[in-house]
Amino acid sequence: MNNVWMVASGKGGTGKSSLVVNLGAALAMEGLRVVVVDLSVGLRCLDLCLGLDDRVLFDLIDVLSGNCRPRDAILKHSTIEKLWLLPAAQNRSMDEITEKSLDALCRQLAEQFDMVLLDCPPGLEPIPQRASAVAGRAILVTTTEATAIRDTERLVTEFTAKGLTDLYLVVNRYCSEHLKSNLIPSETEIADSVGIPLLGTIPEDEAVTLATLRCEPMLIRQPSTPAGRVFTALARRLPGKDFL
């Protein structure tokens, strides 16, 4: 399932959900049919990030447990054509997501959409582990902090051991002033130490935070900010996209 991408990180708060929302929006604006799937069971967030929270009726667990069909739970974004969300469940347990049921769902979504983006909770808890057995490719999101980089190295080891080898790195919240002051390694040094190809570097950009506060992808109002341009560029050069 080469069009099923999981987005993961070792450390929490590195910017996975922001990446899923904005890369998903950028891919949809490029003309691809994109579904983003919120795997943060119990702590759902993508419905808020996309301004769809008041429309959630069914969720991922309803779909996986056969309570409803995927199309009953999947919500279409209000302004971005070709962008859809499968929301997470708020009051359910992650034990309800098995590798088998997630695999079956992703196979179905991979047929119906051009791109499936799985937004994982952080760390090596069961959900990212199960997603890594299902996804064809992964984006690992790190910031420039030493703890986040070290946790990313750990994830690479774990995922590679499980057979998921198509891994790409995104360095988020990059600050060139910090680089000049020798406070952080460069993005290429980070990619070298993590040992996977660098897909892109997203600068620290207040527009990302503002979009989070407004509950919308930043590409709606601020496509030309530094981070906005990176999301568009990432969508244009995402590996495998040209074969769709």
Ligand X SMILES: Nc1ncnc2c1ncn2[C@@H]1O[C@H](COP(=O)(O)OP(=O)(O)OP(=O)(O)O)[C@@H](O)[C@H]1O
* Binding range to ligand X, per CB under 6 A, among 5-13, 70-78, 100-108, 131-139: 5-13
Binding partner of 15, given ligand X, Mg ion, none, CB within 5-8 angstroms per partner class: ligand X
- Asked whether position 53 contacts ligand X by CB under 6 A, the answer is no
Exactly one of 103, 204, 220, 241 binds ligand X (CB under 6 A); that residue is: 204
Closest of 156, 176, 154 to residue 164, by C-alpha: 156
* Residue with Cβ nearer ligand X (91 or 243): 91
* Residue with Cβ nearer ligand X (101 or 172): 172
Determine the Cα–Cα distance for residues 197 and 38; give it in Å rounded to an integer: 25
Minimum distance of Mg ion from residue 22's CB (angstroms): 13
For the window 99-138, what string marks contact with ligand X as x by the rule CB under 6 A? ----------------------xx----------------
Q: Which residues bind ligand X (CB under 6 A)?
A: 9, 12-18, 121-122, 172-173, 202, 204-205, 208-209, 212, 227
